[in-house]
Every structure is written in C-alpha cells, then in structure tokens.
A and B are shown apart, each in its own frame.
Chain A
Amino acid sequence: MDAHDGFREFVIARQQALMRTAYLLVGDPHLAEDLLQSVLVKVVRHWHKLAREGNPEAYTRKALVNQYISWRRRPDPELPSADPPERAVTYDDDALDRIVLRQALGKLTRKQRAVIVLRFWEDLTEAQTADVLGCAVGTVKSQTHHALARLRELAPDLMDSRIAQEAAR
C-alpha cells in the first residue's frame, strides 16, 4: 500500500468541506482551488505524523485560514459588477441575502472575514477561533465586534438580534 493512500483518502473524503471554507474565505472559485492546493502541499509534507497522531482536518483548516490571511500579494478577486437588486424585484430572499453577503464580505479585512467564517459558519467558539488564528481571545472578540459592526452597515437585513447578542459576549 502506498504510504500516501491515507492522504488521498482524506482529501477525497473532506475535499468539499475544505473547498467550502476556502471559497467563503476568498470568494472566488479559482482562488479557492489555488488556496486549497497550496495548503494540501504543506499538509502532505507532514502527513505521516498527522495521520498517526493528529487531527488532519483541524490542522488543514488552521493552515487554510493562516495561508489566506498571509496571502497578501494576491489581488482582491471580488469585483462586484452591479449593486444587488431592489427587494421588490426578487422573489427569492435567500438569493438576495447571498448577493448582499458576498459584497459585504468582500469589504471586510482578511482577519475580519476569517473571524466571520470561523465563528458563524464553522461554528467555532471564540477560544477555538483564537487558536486557529493564533491570537488572543480578546482579539477575536474585538475582530468579531468590528466585523459585525461593518456587516451591520453593509447588510443590515442580515443582522438579527441573536447575532448582536453573540457579538456582545
């Protein structure tokens, strides 16, 4: 058996979940693939040890977020071509929410965007988010606070009282 079969199995089993995280972080399908590929190259380097002792998915997620934040030279791929349609012309509130959210996420800093993805999509706690980002819990609290405040400006309809309550924690 090839020593890297386990790595292939891991990639095949978890690829879609990892791709979704990458896509939420960068907002562009091609860049999401680039990001994930560059991270997998790092993961395979340590696969023997990760497979034996570790939690490869958690390791990969951390590497994904940190790689995204440090990807400073990349141009911003999100150039919305039009404003979201007025509410009256759409019958699909969910689709409108996605358009508004995509635009709003594109206007956050990378750390703020990562915090939103980790806290409200990955459903991580502040402590877990701090671990992934390698920062203090207080930093996560303030990043979340500022990110939600910005989202509240950009997409007020998406923010309900429960989110505001979580931000106050």
Chain B
Amino acid sequence: MTRLRDALNGLAEEAPPANLAGLADLAVVGYRRRRRSTATLAAVATIAVLAGVTATVLMAGPRRTPAAAPQEAPVPVLPAGKVGTLSHAYLETCLPPKGKDPLPDCVPDEWRVVTSAGKTYRVPQALGTTARNHRVPVAVSRDGRMFAYYDKDAEAHVVRDMVTGVETVSAAKVKEERLGVGSMLVVSDDGRHLAFDPREGTKDPGLLIDVRTGGTVPVPGVYEPVAIKDGVAELVRYRRTDLLFMPVTGGGRPVRFDGVFIMFSELAPDGRTVVAFEFPPGKKTQPEYVTRRLTVLDTRTGRTLRKVSVKGLPKRAGIDDATIWQSPSEVTLAVGVGPDTRAYAVDVRTGRARPVAKYPGRSRGQLVLPGAAGGL
C-alpha cells in the first residue's frame, strides 16, 4: 500500500457516520410524491390533448395518425452455432440516464459482441465483473473469428470460434479470486493460445494458456500482454521500457528502448518494428499521445527509427491506443472523439490517418477491439 493510498484511506475514515435510513425513506416519499404529481399532470394533459384532438378531428376530418416512436428491439442472447466474425465486443455499462431520460434497457457490466454484419448479441455467460467488482476481460482475435471470455461456472476461459460455433473450454482452471484490478486477456488467431494477466501493474505472474491441452507457461509478473501473433506473445514491461517477444512455449529475450513508451502496437508485418507513444517523465513535457506524435521502434536494436506526427484526426480527438496493422505501412489507432471511439489507419511513413471504423457511443474503456489486449 502506498502512502497516498494510506492517506486516502485515513481521510475516508474521517467521513461522518452515515445514518441514511431516514434519508432513504425521504427519497422514497419524494419519489412517490413526484410520481403522483406527474400522473396528475399527465392526466390533465391527456384530457387537454384529447379535447384538442377531438376538436381538430371534428374540424378537419380524418387524418393519418402519426407513427409511434420506434422502440429499440431487445438485444438477443448469443445463440449457439455460427454467427460470423466479430467487429468488436463491448461492456454494456448501462450508464445512468441524464435528467429525466428513461433508464436504458440493459444489464450493467454485461459483455456484448457485435458481428462484422452489425448484429449485436448479449453474452451473459461471459463474466463481466467479479464479486469484488473487478472487470473481467474478454478478447477478440485479430481477424475477429475467435472470442475468448471467462466462464464463472467452468472457472476457466472459453474460446468460441464464431464462424463454426465450436466452443473450447480451457483445461487450465483460473479461480475468480485471481482476477484482480485491470486483468487482461489476448487470444491468438487460431484460438489456441491465451495471454492472461491477472492484475495490471503488479508482479502477480501472468499465464500463457494452451486452451487445447490446458498447459500453461508462466509470464513474469512485471510484463503485460499486448498481442499474440504467429505463435509469439508480445509483452511489455512499462517504465523501463522493455518489450518481450515470448514464444507460446516459453523463452524469448526482452529488448529495452531508450525512453519511456506506452500504447504499443502489435509487431508490424515486417516482423521487426512496433509503434508506441513516448511518455516523457516529468511534468514539463506532454505525453506524445497528446501531441499526436507516434514513434516507430526497432525491436531488434531498441532504437527509435523515426517519429511521425499523426495528421487528419478530428480536432477534439484523443489517441487511446495503437493496435493491429492494417497493411505493412498502416497501423490502427483507437481514438476517442467525444463519447465515441473511432479506429484510424495511420501511415507510419507520412502520418496520414484515414478512418476505418466507428464505435458510436462507446468509450475505449468499454471496447475490446480485434487483436488488442482486452481489459485496457
């Protein structure tokens, strides 16, 4: 426990003793009073409207009745069998409505998947949050075919092939209590391997899981998963910054970069470079995801190959993440624009960005994009 956390705990202990039973009653009474007033007003308004409508009909004759406001159809549960590849997954957080808006028809902290065809499904079998209210990650493979999630009843991860509908329950058991703050998950393109970090930013060791055999390879706790590609897990150790390319069978040597970098992409198709954003220590210099300048790094030498200013993003946009490569020269950036997230393919030679996907009303924190570590 750090000193800041200790001090916050101490300060929280100074909160006045809550005795809100009476307050709860007041809230209920106030709610009922408002409901009655609203109902009375609604009745008066209805009578007035009916009178008005009757008068209008009598004066103007029959007219077409206005169409009823469209109602959102309830989101179906993910059916067994084939549903097609996924565009993304998201956690339905069911945010409180603003003002007097009605409560949205949703279950908070439930995972949903969206297919490439645009169909949305609820996935209630994928645990959204643990009993301790820690978010449980899911993952979508780079091509959107594999969907990995944690099943509470099986106490294990499950990988579902969305094209064939085949589900594989991992033989490697993971207790729910192991899923801590900022747990992370990545799934390989063939759905066979998972990289799992039980708690972001701690030395609690992670696991590379072979879903078919149940075999596991421990990952040093200082590393966090970024991606799995071609049988190699990309793992990052922040602060130094080191990147470790660890074969799914274990081993691998880390490379150290000169400087502090965050938001790493997967390994480029050239098998050598990655994109990240420099996070200069100290308070004077802004992080480069704010100044919109990406860095292309050589994973063999640790050297910075070049820095490129990203052009063509909306004015209000904030860069959230770098993920998979769209082509040998274009990397995907997840960008927050107001309440939405958008994906842009950015040319790492020119910095030119072109939009490739939109996720309206979804913050990056809710979204799991193909190939990116779920739980970001």
Contact = CB atoms under 8 A, between A and B. Distances in A.
Given A128-B365, A137-B320, A59 B94 contact: yes
Contact of A165 (B24, B239, B376): B239
Main secondary structure of the interface of A (DSSP, over half): helix
B27 interface: yes
A37 interface: yes
Interface residues of A, number: 82
Nearest to A12: B21
Please tell me the size bucket of the interface on B: 35 or more
A85 B98 CA distance: 44
Contacts of B17: 16, 19
Interface stretch (B8-16, B57-65, B148-156, B159-167): B8-16
A130 B16 CA distance: 28
Given A7-B28, A33-B16, A94 B7 contact: yes
B20 A11 contact: yes
A149 B283 CA distance: 6
Contacts of A165: 201, 238-239
Contacts of B4: 101, 120, 151, 158-160, 163
Contacts of B10: 94-95, 97-98
B358 to A, nearest CB: 14
Contacts of B91: 131
A169 to B, nearest CB: 5
A76 interface: no
Interface string A125-169: 111111100111111111001100101100001111011011011
B41 to A, nearest CB: 16
B142 interface: no
Interface of B: 2-21, 23-28, 30-31, 91, 93-97, 103, 106-109, 129, 133, 135, 181-182, 200-201, 238-239, 260, 262, 279, 281, 283, 287, 289-290, 318-321, 336, 339, 341, 363-366, 375-376
Given A36-B23, A55-B133, 17 more contacts: A4-B24, A7-B24, A12-B24, A20-B12, A49-B103, A54-B107, A55-B109, A58-B93, A58-B129, A59-B96, A98-B10, A101-B7, A101-B11, A120-B5, A136-B363, A137-B321, A168-B239
24 contacts: A7-B24, A15-B19, A22-B15, A24-B15, A33-B16, A40-B24, A53-B106, A53-B108, A57-B133, A100-B7, A121-B12, A125-B375, A127-B182, A128-B135, A137-B320, A138-B289, A138-B290, A138-B318, A138-B319, A138-B364, A149-B283, A158-B3, A158-B7, A168-B239
